[in-house]
Chains A and B, each alone.
Chain A
Amino acid sequence: MSRHIVSRTSELPPGERKIVDAEGRSIGVFNVHGRYYALKNSCPHQAAPLCLGAIKGMTLPSQPGEYIWARDGEILRCPWHGWEFDITTGRSIFNPHKTRVRAYEVTVEADLDDETVETFPVTVEDGLVVLHI
């Protein structure tokens, strides 16, 4: 497993994404409500650049005629055919067990080269978003 620094946390605020190339792979790194997630930038359907899609919520399963909008900011829709994926897991909404996109681990780490940080902080004020693939 290798580490790839994606950005400073201040450069990737909630609701935003950054698409990076790491070891020849295109990967989208997302900040969802302050937590970071990474997905392979290729839809399992027809290999569209999935991570360019709109970040939305979703209508939850409901009774006919009832609309329950939820999970704002957690759902990625493929820019081609509109398939919905849970950004936090990489699993599709319509078939989470079978149709999924590869997800990667992301951590937030202190910037040890930042001389203003003298001790390892409990809360990283402006650390590094690190992708592990």
Chain B
Amino acid sequence: MATIAPGPTTTTTASLTRTGIVDCDVHVYPRGNDEIKSRLSMPWRDRYGGGGRGFFGNPVHGSRLDSNPPNGGPVGSDPDFLRKQLIDEYGIAYAVLLPRAFCNLHPDPDFGTAIAAAFNDWLAETWLSEYNPDGVFKGSITVNTQDPVAAVKEIERWAGHPHVVQVMTDSGARAPFGQRQYHPIYEACERHGFRFAIHPGTDGMGINVQPSPGYPTHYIEWHTCLSLAFQAHLVSLLTEGVFVRFPGLGVTLTEGGVSWLPALMWRLDAEWKSLRSEVPWLDKPPSAYLRDHVRLSSQPIETPDNPKHLLAMLDLLDAEHVLMFASDYPHWDFDSPTHAFPRLPETLHRRIFGETAREWYGLE
């Protein structure tokens, strides 16, 4: 059996146990570009213009219309308002923060790496310290995967930080994430007890390939098919033996969809029975690595008209062990902690809404 991967902190103190939900995908934003520019050195400071993916914008609205802070500034930029609207509203014990640096689309790897570092400095100096007296915010530091050597150096900077729980990157890439050029990143994550999170972004943007055959026409297609990249990355991570090479590595698939998992694993396991000889390092069916090495965040949870079908799906995908609640606040497709799921059996509810994430991230 593979080793159960340790979380970032493995000590637990019963007296500090928090009750409440762990929200595994919360987006925070700088109050303005200057918060990033001021943390960039020249020449990048002059060159940085902010910016997201550039196209495939939501034609309706990109964020909840009620998430604009009343005192101004972008959505997700005001800690008091975010606490009021998310943390206090739903009783969130921990919010795992995933800033959106979109550093992976730039042709110049040094520029992408500089942007990642500036976002990480900003996150650490604001949301993980100044705004975080009670430790409710746990951070994901961003790396630029096109330069894995630089990414490792960036990971080293955050080793031992009390509120950094994972390393994150965009699903947009030039090659599937199991390939060996990325392995130094996984070695560094394993060494420092950081989970490695993949979040949608920069697919088909800048230097990255689009995971569908060409560019879809509409946002509805693009957004629905975000899960394609996750499926390809997961199959790659499993078959390349990443979890055999790095038995302490854990990968968090964030906002990549959920319900595709059982069918994809059935297919992959069936292929493995015939083609195991091609990947002889896999000494058990690929799906058997999931429980030790992979977690999925729930939002946007697929919602069939019949809630029983979702309950059946949760059973099929081993949700009790691999699924972690996420809201995606403040984005438009926010999943409410109180309304996104049908009524769940008590144990399953407890696992999805906090217990699994506490174990995964070593939270008390």
Contact = CB atoms under 8 A, between A and B. Distances in A.
Contact of B340 (A46, A49, A77): A46
A57 interface: no
A77 B65 CA distance: 10
A48 B330 CA distance: 13
Contact of A54 (B58, B65, B335): B65
B47 interface: no
Interface residues of A, number: 13
B66 interface: yes
Interface string A52-92: 11100000000000000000000001011110000000000
A20 B334 CA distance: 25
A87 to B, nearest CB: 16
Contact of A79 (B65, B335, B336, B340): B65
Contacts of A1: none
B60 A77 contact: yes
A49 B339 contact: no
Contacts of A82: 58, 60-61, 332
Nearest to A98: B305
A80 B332 contact: yes
Interface string B49-74: 00000000010110011100000000
A46 B58 CA distance: 20
A47 B338 contact: yes
B333 interface: yes
Interface residues of B, number: 14
Nearest to B300: A81
B64 A79 contact: yes
Most chain B CB inside 10 Å of its own CB: which residue of A45, A46, A53, A77: A46
Contacts of A80: 64-66, 332-334
B85 to A, nearest CB: 11
Given A54-B61, A77-B60, A82-B60, A49 B66 contact: yes
Contacts of A47: 336, 338-339
Contact of B66 (A45, A46, A52): A52
Contacts of A79: 61, 64-66
Interface string B15-54: 0000000000000000000000000000000000000000
Given A77-B60, A82-B60, A52 B65 contact: yes
11 contacts: A45-B339, A46-B339, A48-B66, A54-B65, A79-B61, A79-B64, A79-B65, A80-B332, A81-B333, A82-B61, A82-B332
Given A81-B332, A82-B332, 15 more contacts: A46-B335, A46-B336, A46-B340, A47-B339, A52-B66, A53-B65, A54-B61, A77-B61, A79-B64, A80-B65, A80-B332, A80-B333, A80-B334, A81-B333, A81-B334
Across the A-B interface, give the 9 residue pairs with the lowest CB-CB distance, nearest first.
Answer: A79-B65, A82-B60, A46-B339, A46-B336, A79-B66, A80-B64, A47-B339, A52-B66, A80-B334
